[in-house]
Structure 1
Amino acid sequence: MKIGSLDLGKHPLLLAPMESVTDPSFRSLCKDLGADMMYTEFVSAKALVRKVNRTVRKLEIAEKERPVGIQLYGGDVDLMREAAIMAEEANPEVIDINFGCPVKKIATKGSGSGLLRDIPTLLEITKSIVDAVNVPVTVKTRLGWDDNSLVIETLAEQLQDMGIAALTIHGRTREQMYSGKADWTLIGKVKNNPRMHIPIIGNGDITGPEKARELIDRYGVDALMIGRPAIGKPWIFKEVKHYLNTGELLPPLSVPQQAELLKELVRRSVDYIDEKAGILHARRHLAKVFTDLPDIRELRIKLLTRKHVPEVLAVLDEIVERYSD
């Protein structure tokens, strides 16, 4: 699959942009474990143009993470164009436009998926950015605002006409948020529309290797974007890639193997931010693991309340000692 001149190979796996998740520490680990392309956290156009330090820092890209896309959101055409020009200075491989975020504070203010209720502005923003930058521009969006406005089939053609280089579709409406099952039917219709020639990337409920294979085979998408299933389980990229390439399932990671990768995530997070904020950042991942181990509640509470790196690593060692095969 190619996005512009960027060749990602056959059926690449992309790490979805996620606020407070896809910082360089997590991106680098996912890259090590098989993700083919990374995306930044959401970058507010307004905050970037105002040069808010926390937002500007989201543009930081390490060479070992590449290829990386910077994802922008906002509802003002001029601000989005200016932000895209600023983002291009960070030398990303791709600039991605967020027309899919369903969070209330974004969507109800005319950004993210909120623009699915204002298609003319959505298209104007897209065309403005495509014309303003020299890197490929991509879009991530949803099926529509709700079940009564499933616009994606027409919208996909319109976005392609605006000059985007690839389109990612999350198989839910904004009204669904992240509830229920992702509906890939319309994603498949977009992909199989003979007028579409840009890559179509599917997103939503890619929970493991066999599901990934099923979705590719059934709907014909060019690539898969994995988001929430990677939280606390960055090794999902390795598992999916191995299965797509060989048809064989890797054995599940043992508790010690999982613990070692989580230790590395904690270290990288702390190195990138600082101890206090880095541990808080890592907790969203630690909260997702070891949930099915018997009598784990006390150790999980300890894991999620320790405030210093040696203490967190020590609890992971306790879990390994208790639950090693």
Structure 2
Amino acid sequence: MGEQLKIGNLEIDGVPLFLAPMEDVTYKSFRWMCKKFGVDVMYTEFVSSEALVRNVEKSKLKMELFDFDRPVAVQIYGHNIDSMVRAAQVAEEFNPDFIDINFGCPMKKIIRHGAGAALLQDLPKMQKMSTEIVKAVQVPVTAKTRLGWSESDKPVLEAALRLQDAGIQALAIHGRTREQLYTGTADWTLIGEVKNHPQIAIPIIGNGDINSGEKARTFLEQTDVDALMIGRGAIGRPWLFKEIKHYLRTGENLAPPTVAEVVDVLRGQLKMNLEWKDNERSGILMMRRHFAKYFPGLPGFRELKIKLLTAETNTEVNEILDKIVDMYGSYQPDFTNASLK
């Protein structure tokens, strides 16, 4: 395990924890909450290069950065090299610490246009796109990808070597193929092979299935990666970063939060979201994906969960949260088994 991660002028001691870029998840209030609990590096939601080239305001809003974010990256995706170069230049105007290229998104709406994980089927184009983006901006450029397209097509080592040659300064690898989407188990063996290949000199960031301190330590010992990236495991559980750091430091698990403590966290995230968004309803709608994850495995919770997921005003949401505290306040949910579902 490295003593210091370096991406351009960015230097972080130890083994930093990254919050993965996730659409409709890693917006301002969630990033703020994760930062409170010790995440080291964050990303915006991924942004379409075509939307940036067309100057779509909604996409530009995704790149708005705040003092608490740093260090932070803007992640872009697309299939057209010229558009991606222009998008990187637009992203640079928002002054991120680095720009990340999405070569890993497996969703149909992304890959059907030849973006995201689709570029794992065209490594020369992936390399050329990266080379042109690196040349076009002053900030460091990194990338995120997967093991490959399918069980029989896993070119991640070749991809890593090509990206390194292109000037990419760090590579995050999700331990699944595109075909797997988010099913099955992440395979960290290949991540370790990339990290420990004698020709690989850039930092390698491991991603996939990290939802406990024990798993974090196991993956680190197995692969010697330079950093860990956490995505789905942190949705509805932003204190996971604190738990992992505590475990890596002491070998002990922190006690899980009670429902009352979870509600306090959720209210904090909701409050910031409502202050940030221009209307109450949109601020609440954005939170629904998080609402669903904050209370795993509560007995007899279905009716309250439906009410929480359909509430449309801050008053309604807070009344439901009051009821949740009254009914379950001292209960400690099992987040470890629920966080990746």
**TM bracket (short chain):** over 0.9
1:86 Cα deviation after fit: 0.9
The equivalent position to 1:72 in structure 2, one of 72, 76, 82, is 76
User: Do the aligned partners of 2:120 and 2:159 also contact (CA within 8 Å) in 1?
Assistant: no
Structure 2 SS opposite 1:304:
helix
1:324 matched to 2:324: no
1:192 Cα deviation after fit: 0.7
Structure 1 SS opposite 2:310:
coil
What letter is aligned with 2:273?
A: S
1:313 matched to 2:321: no
CA distance in 1, matches of 2:302, 2:86: 49
Cα deviations by residue, 1:249-284 (Å, 9 ceiling, x for unpaired)? 111101111010011111112222231111111110
CA distance in 2, matches of 1:258, 1:291: 11
Match of 1:92 in 2: 96
Match of 2:10 in 1: 6
CA distance in 1, matches of 2:245, 2:307: 34
CA distance in 2, matches of 1:11, 1:107: 32
1:324 Cα deviation after fit: 2.3
Structure-to-structure mapping, 1:120-199, within 5 angstroms: 120-199=124-203
1:236 Cα deviation after fit: 0.8
What letter is aligned with 2:287?
A: A
Structure-to-structure mapping, 1:195-206, within 5 angstroms: 195-206=199-210
- The runs of 5 or more residues in structure 1 that have no matched partner are none
Cα deviations by residue, 1:142-163 (Å, 9 ceiling, x for unpaired)? 0111112110011111111111
1:57 matched to 2:75: no
1:35 matched to 2:39: yes
1:300 Cα deviation after fit: 1.3
Cα deviations by residue, 1:29-59 (Å, 9 ceiling, x for unpaired)? 1111111011011110110011001001111
Cα deviations by residue, 1:204-257 (Å, 9 ceiling, x for unpaired)? 100111111110111111111100111111111111111112222111101111
Structure 1 SS opposite 2:45:
strand
CA distance in 1, matches of 2:235, 2:74: 19
CA distance in 1, matches of 2:20, 2:162: 23
Runs of 4+ in structure 1 deviating by more than 2 angstroms, as ranges, are none
The equivalent position to 1:304 in structure 2, one of 285, 306, 309, is 309
User: Do the aligned partners of 2:213 and 2:244 also contact (CA within 8 Å) in 1?
Assistant: yes
Q: What TM-score comes out, normalization by structure 1 length?
A: 0.98
CA distance in 1, matches of 2:13, 2:49: 31
1:289 Cα deviation after fit: 2.5
1:16 Cα deviation after fit: 0.3
What letter is aligned with 2:325?
A: V
Structure 1 SS opposite 2:229:
strand
CA distance in 1, matches of 2:15, 2:97: 18
What letter is aligned with 1:296?
A: F
Structure-to-structure mapping, 1:250-261, within 5 angstroms: 250-261=254-265
Over aligned residues, Cα RMSD in angstroms? 1.0
CA distance in 2, matches of 1:77, 1:283: 35
Aligned length: 325
User: Do the aligned partners of 2:206 and 2:225 also contact (CA within 8 Å) in 1?
Assistant: yes
What letter is aligned with 1:318?
A: K
Match of 1:293 in 2: 298
1:208 matched to 2:200: no
Percent pairwise identity: 54
Structure 2 SS opposite 1:8:
strand
1:70 Cα deviation after fit: 0.3
CA distance in 2, matches of 1:286, 1:58: 21
CA distance in 1, matches of 2:125, 2:276: 37
CA distance in 2, matches of 1:218, 1:9: 20
- The runs of 5 or more residues in structure 2 that have no matched partner are 331-341
What letter is aligned with 2:66?
A: A
